[in-house]
Structure 1
Amino acid sequence: MAVDNEDLPALIGSRICHDLISPIGAINNGLELLGMSGEVSGPEMELISDSVTNANARIRFFRVAFGAAGDQQMGRAEVVSVLDDINKGGRLAFQWAPLDGASRSEVRMAFLAALCLESALPYGGTVAILCADGQWTVIGEGRKVNMDEALWARLTDKTADVEITPAQVQFALLPQAAEQAGRTITVDPMLEKISIHF
């Protein structure tokens, strides 16, 4: 079976996340065993434990955002679990409003949109993910919104001339994912809020 070269980055993302999740889980299990033994405790153990928990949450989130997507369903409980874990260690609070599950490709686009919004909220805030009648809206709100207009233009105009850094890869991937799904992205910026629709 031939591999579509456009899918290679997503397959690589899936592979990296898949291979990293097991050793991080093992480290977490080891920390729990050390904690139960009572021999090791204190702020050092808390710092290591928090770091492992945050790394595990980010990898789970990145596996959806950057990994291979498809039409298979993700249940609401699975999505909320990923977001609940990532909420524990970040400056943003992610909220998932849809009551039903969604296809992995739709969740992937929502997570990529959330990453775009994260880059525009340097002081934190909330990112709410909504869906009504098949139309998705991802809203980022915070006390300060910092938008790089050239970068954000890339979401709605794939010919926009902007250099994408590794930290901004979501701005290249979201339009590609939307195009594959037959969707059009619109962005609605305001003073303390940005909405992405697709």
Structure 2
Amino acid sequence: MTQQDRDLTALIGSRICHDLISPLGAIGNGVELLQLSGMADSPEMALIAESVTNANLRIRYFRVAFGAANDDQMIAENEIHAVLAPGVDGRKIEVNWQPNGNQPRGAVKLAFLILQCFETAMPWGGRIDVRNDGEHWQIRGQADKLKLDAELWNLLTARRGDIDVPPAQVHFALIAPELERQNRTAGVTLSEHSISVEF
């Protein structure tokens, strides 16, 4: 994948997320108006409201993870925490985001892509701690049970074109090119109950 291909992929991600945020917001506003009028007191309407909330959180997350990230852009700390909030979907993974203050969008993009890899490996739940020390980032996850695919995790440290990555795991394939774009490298440590990624 060339630099131009990577840039286009990120721009496509940004465009799709941008175009979906407005209609989802409109649906959410409509649900709120129905709730205020007393017409939305039903399990069906509660399900719609919950689904809209979850979709909004995921779209905002995807916008950071898959969208364009200029090297001089920053992302606000409150936006990061809002996007990583558990939401109403009963998500079993707790993300402890420790970096203080606004952060470079490129670094957060990498962190969010890597967090998706952790989510893939933790279908039964777990805890993830995100730390940074200046330019150095560490993401560590722990769980009673992990679902690990070593070939996919190897993609974080070595670009390979001979692995057919399914759409549900595309985040694994996007990390090495983004690391290269940012002149970074990653280290990955896998064990029975923990995963650690540093970049």
Taking structure 1 as the reference length, what is the TM-score of the superposition?
0.93
Provide the C-alpha distance between the structure 2 equivalents of 1:98 and 1:174, rounded to a whole number of angstroms: 20
- For these two proteins, the number of residue pairs brought into alignment is 195
Provide the C-alpha distance between the structure 2 equivalents of 1:76 and 1:159, rounded to a whole number of angstroms: 34
Matched with 1:50 is 50
Asked if the contact 2:64–2:108 (Cα under 8 Å) also holds between the matched residues in 1, the reply is yes
Q: Aligned-pair distance for 1:44?
A: 1.1
Provide the C-alpha distance between the structure 1 equivalents of 2:19 and 2:134, rounded to a whole number of angstroms: 36
Matched with 2:68 is 68
Provide the C-alpha distance between the structure 2 equivalents of 1:193 and 1:137, rounded to a whole number of angstroms: 13
Q: Letter of the 1:183 partner, please give it.
A: R
Matched with 1:175 is 176
Provide the C-alpha distance between the structure 2 equivalents of 1:68 and 1:9, rounded to a whole number of angstroms: 8
Asked if the contact 1:113–1:170 (Cα under 8 Å) also holds between the matched residues in 2, the reply is yes
Provide the C-alpha distance between the structure 1 equivalents of 2:40 and 2:183, rounded to a whole number of angstroms: 54
Matched with 2:100 is 99
SS at the partner of 2:155?
helix
Runs of 5+ in structure 1 lacking a partner?
A: none
Provide the C-alpha distance between the structure 2 equivalents of 1:102 and 1:43, rounded to a whole number of angstroms: 40
Provide the C-alpha distance between the structure 1 equivalents of 2:94 and 2:68, rounded to a whole number of angstroms: 25
SS at the partner of 2:183?
coil
Q: Aligned-pair distance for 1:5?
A: 2.9
Taking structure 2 as the reference length, what is the TM-score of the superposition?
0.93
Provide the C-alpha distance between the structure 1 equivalents of 2:134 and 2:28, rounded to a whole number of angstroms: 40
Asked if the contact 1:92–1:126 (Cα under 8 Å) also holds between the matched residues in 2, the reply is yes
Cα 1:109–1:173 change in 2 (3 A) is same
Matched with 2:120 is 119
Matched with 1:81 is 82
Q: Aligned-pair distance for 1:91?
A: 2.5
Asked if the contact 1:150–1:160 (Cα under 8 Å) also holds between the matched residues in 2, the reply is no
Identity of aligned residues (%): 46
SS at the partner of 1:69?
coil
Provide the C-alpha distance between the structure 2 equivalents of 1:129 and 1:17, rounded to a whole number of angstroms: 25
Runs of 5+ in structure 2 lacking a partner?
A: none
Deviations 1:106-147 (A, max 9, x none): 000000000011111120112221101311111122111111
Q: What RMSD over aligned residues (CA atoms) do the two structures have, in Å? A: 1.5
Provide the C-alpha distance between the structure 1 equivalents of 2:5 and 2:134, rounded to a whole number of angstroms: 32
Provide the C-alpha distance between the structure 2 equivalents of 1:70 and 1:87, rounded to a whole number of angstroms: 28
Provide the C-alpha distance between the structure 2 equivalents of 1:61 and 1:127, rounded to a whole number of angstroms: 16
Q: Aligned-pair distance for 1:160?
A: 6.6
Asked if the contact 2:140–2:195 (Cα under 8 Å) also holds between the matched residues in 1, the reply is yes
Deviations 1:147-186 (A, max 9, x none): 1111111111113732111111111111111111111111
**Structure-to-structure mapping, 1:1-198, within 5 angstroms:** 4-71=4-71, 72-84=73-85, 86-89=86-89, 90-159=91-160, 161-198=162-199
Cα 1:6–1:40 change in 2 (3 A) is closer
